[in-house]
Chain A
């Protein structure tokens, strides 16, 4: 199901930085979640930036570049949530601690014993990494790692369906953009806002690849490969095939 169309996502870099948590008061789970979403966005950005240039067709290269720029925005946004006060040694320790937390969470959720053993193996490796990072922290910063880490792991992250949640967020927030540190409705922007200037500079005068590729797909296959199993798209303007949305829901119900 389409989210915010890529064509309207590009924002001026000044509008991508957010306020950060305060390292002495942050909830351990908030810290871990911030690190996880940052790592996910970093991986995604790297994927689009590394794979894009391997394509020969200009449309594919353009599409990857267009998305890579959005992912770069996301990296900036999530990276800015972390407190810059944290030292390199603290970050190293917390990074491995977060990996432990995630593997431990996956291990909890996994029902296949073979896969569960893989998570266990990775958890064991990360525990050793935590030990090594802790030793570095102790030696070079004089900080006892046990003092920095929470007394016990927070409740595990669950891998579960989130379609309704995503639909709710889309419905409530799709018209938001940001000005400086704050999210604001797009309609609140003056016509000379830097968002529009940036949009014009990045997308102006051409059909952007993310739109062109969908047009090509519809032309070739008759649809835009969306799957809206929970009913019509929550944003009416994005229901390009309203009847098909309903059909998808009906198909899902039958299954």
Chain B
């Protein structure tokens, strides 16, 4: 089961950069990160940090979709957001499993992962402007945020697939390919959100 909020109690580990202080026992050594790329001809630290960032994106996206489901006044749209939350959570689980298969902690939070979380956090603030827009505008913002996060998930899937393809034959490559395929097999909902957004905008424009 995916962990949507990473804390020390749940097993969060990381590696320090210039401004962060992390308990030594919770630091993932660079050697461990480098090791995953050795046989695959990849930069292990970059790949580990990337997978961690993809997982963090999905975590935050799952939570934002759940918040959108809570806030929308439209029952049909609520169902879409709930399904999105579920899908993002499943993807989080798949990426956590990938980290474990790469012999890394499931809750490794890389510096890139922090940035990925911060980016979603910034997007999620858009609907907080609800007091200065009408109900239609608020629904549009909720959908826009869900759409942008879905688009990022789609792009992340493509990026992971490409990284897997760039690896040389190794267990790391096999593991990356399997997860990329798993993620790519279930993106119909993301594509549906794009269509839903377009239809929603057209419908709103017609009303006027």
Give me the interface of A with B, judged by CB distance under 8 Å: 19-22, 24-28, 83, 85, 87, 138-144, 147-148, 150-151, 181
Contact = CB atoms under 8 A, between A and B. Distances in A.
Contacts of B65: 142
A25 B109 contact: yes
B9 A150 contact: yes
A25 B12 contact: yes
Contact of A28 (B9, B20, B67): B9
Interface string B115-151: 0011001001001100000000000000000000000
B183 interface: no
Contacts of A141: 63-64, 67, 124
Contacts of A83: 20
Nearest to A81: B21
A24 B85 contact: no
Contacts of B23: 25, 27
A24 B67 contact: no
B63 A148 contact: no
A6 to B, nearest CB: 28
A142 B109 contact: no
Nearest to A27: B8
A92 B18 CA distance: 27
Contacts of B71: 139-140
Contacts of B26: 25
Most buried by B among A25, A28, A85, A139: A25
B31 interface: no
B66 interface: yes
Nearest to B25: A25
A83 B117 CA distance: 13
B62 interface: yes
A52 to B, nearest CB: 33
Contacts of A87: 121
Interface string B140-171: 00000000000000000000000000000000
Interface in B1-51: 4-9, 12-14, 16, 18-23, 26
B5 A148 contact: yes
A147 B60 CA distance: 13
Contacts of A85: 114, 117-118, 121
Given A21-B21, A24-B109, A151 B9 contact: yes
